[in-house]
A and B are shown apart, each in its own frame.
Chain A
């Protein structure tokens, strides 16, 4: 199974400042079809998860452009250019290249300083 490792696990940020979350996979997520199936999910307090990013860098509909994803192979990053209060929550990376199983990172808790 592919192990997904996120860092940091806790990220205190100042409103309006940038934030960055790292996700590393135990094996390359480059699929034989040439795509890389790395996704990011946001879970706000008391809510169900919401997909933000698919295939490394594609934002889902309605996702603000302050969210961006990047990376390749085994190293990926989610960046928030200017953190807003509504961005508080837990962020998970998830791989969809080597399944089953679909595997998630441990989650990174973003909170306001």
Chain B
């Protein structure tokens, strides 16, 4: 079955970096784009970034553009989110979610269980 397993969360100090990973299984990874969506404690869902099926296209929310970098390794069925210059307001559960590459809307269908990133001094 489809599985997306995020890892790499934890506590980071403001201004530092954190790298999240999302390992996929149960589907043809190279046929899917991958989103990162975050949810601050007690808040709603906020889209962060998308990488296309082949890594050729990347998109970012304005709030993280220039600080976060999304990448993927199709040989390892894994997508990454490199987060630099972390701020307290980046504290959230980070979810990865897949989106079929031929879907023009690239809407996420399956989501991982999320990994919590806490930015605090």
- Contact, CB under 8 Å: A104 / B45: yes
Confirm or deny: A68 has a beta carbon within 8 angstroms of a beta carbon on chain B: no
- Contact, CB under 8 Å: B107 / A102: yes
Confirm or deny: A51 has a beta carbon within 8 angstroms of a beta carbon on chain B: yes
CB-CB < 8 A to A92: which residues of B?
44-45
Count of B interface residues, CB-CB < 8 Å: 25
Contact size class for A? 20 to 34
- Contact, CB under 8 Å: B59 / A104: no
- Contact, CB under 8 Å: B114 / A99: no
- Contact, CB under 8 Å: B111 / A50: yes
- Contact, CB under 8 Å: A31 / B111: no
Confirm or deny: A110 has a beta carbon within 8 angstroms of a beta carbon on chain B: no
| A31-B104 contact in complex given A48-B114, A104-B44, C-beta closer than 8 Å | yes
- Contact, CB under 8 Å: A103 / B95: no
- Contact, CB under 8 Å: A48 / B109: no
CB-CB < 8 A to B61: which residues of A?
100-101
CB-CB < 8 A to A60: which residues of B?
109
User: Which of A39, A55, A94, A101 has the largest number of chain B CB atoms within 10 A?
Assistant: A101
* Cα-based distance from A101 to B50 in the complex (angstroms): 9
* Cα-based distance from A102 to B108 in the complex (angstroms): 10
Confirm or deny: B72 has a beta carbon within 8 angstroms of a beta carbon on chain A: no
A residues with CB within 8 A of B? 31, 33, 35, 37, 39, 41, 43, 48-51, 54-55, 60, 90, 92, 94, 96-97, 99-107
B residues with CB within 8 A of A? 35, 37, 44-47, 50, 59-62, 95, 97, 103-114
